[in-house]
Amino acid sequence: MTAFKNGKLKEGWIVILLIAALIIIDQIIKIEVKTNMFLGESIRITDWFYIDFIENNGMAFGMTFFNKLVLSLFRLVAITALGWYIYSMLKKPHSLMTVVCLAMILAGAAGNMVDSMFYGLVFNASSPHYVSYLVPFGDGYAPFLQGKVVDMFYFPLIVSEWPEWVPVVGGENFVFFSPVFNFADACVSVGVVLLLIFGRKDLEECGMWKVEGGMRNVE
């Protein structure tokens, strides 16, 4: 029993350290970009990899479906629920890979949440004309929970044009993988993909994901 508890404690620390490390990496990258680049500035690394500094109010990859404040509150609830789920899973039989994937998703969500919570309070507004800098706490560009999320990674893997015969978009530019994203977005995306590949059994056993009659149902 003692060995079992020690094993769970060790896994718990692994999860905590992984989440902390991913959030720190994410924040280092974002602060480095925000305080050294103009808004909209682009740095070419290769033909298929650029550092493009943009900010957004929405979800991963710049998507937006909700009011900013509503989105931030939704994120807080989701992060809390996921954290509690990981804590509960550590008490049950599971694979370490599943917990690691969930930790990556949690870290990514929390990384973007930090932007929303604090960037508006501690930074002045980014601009195409000057580099952003720290200001006294509370004197920033937005209230609590309404800061903008910093994005920077752009991978235009294929840049071409649609054939003229294609309806509507014929002759227009085509870019394969056009979203600009950040390290936190990547953590969420990679975590979800790996979870679906390696953690499906754990999800089925806990009732989060069931397969019935060949159909997948998320409860």
Helical pair 183-198 and 2-34, crossing angle rounded to 10 deg: 150
- Contact indicator for 182, 29 with CB cutoff of 8 Å: yes
Residue 185 falls in the annotated catalytic set: yes
> What is the distance between the terminal CA atoms of the chain, rounded to a whole angstrom?
32
Q: What angle do CA 136, 141, 57 make, to 5 degrees?
A: 135
- How far apart (Å, rounded) are the C-alpha atoms in residues 199 and 101? 8
Residue 151 falls in the annotated catalytic set: yes
- How far apart (Å, rounded) are the C-alpha atoms in residues 49 and 70? 33
Give the sign of the dihedral formed by CA 14, CA 16, CA 17, CA 21. Answer: positive
**Which of 74, 9, 76, 54 is CA-nearest to residue 150?**
54
Q: What are the two backbone dihedrals, phi and then psi, of residue 59, each rounded to the nearest 5 degrees? A: -90, -165
Catalytic residue among 26, 115, 151, 202: 151
Q: Cα–chain-centroid distance for residue 133?
A: 23
Tell me which DSSP letter residue 114 carries: H
Place of tokens 């932007």: 115
Residues with catalytic roles: 151, 185
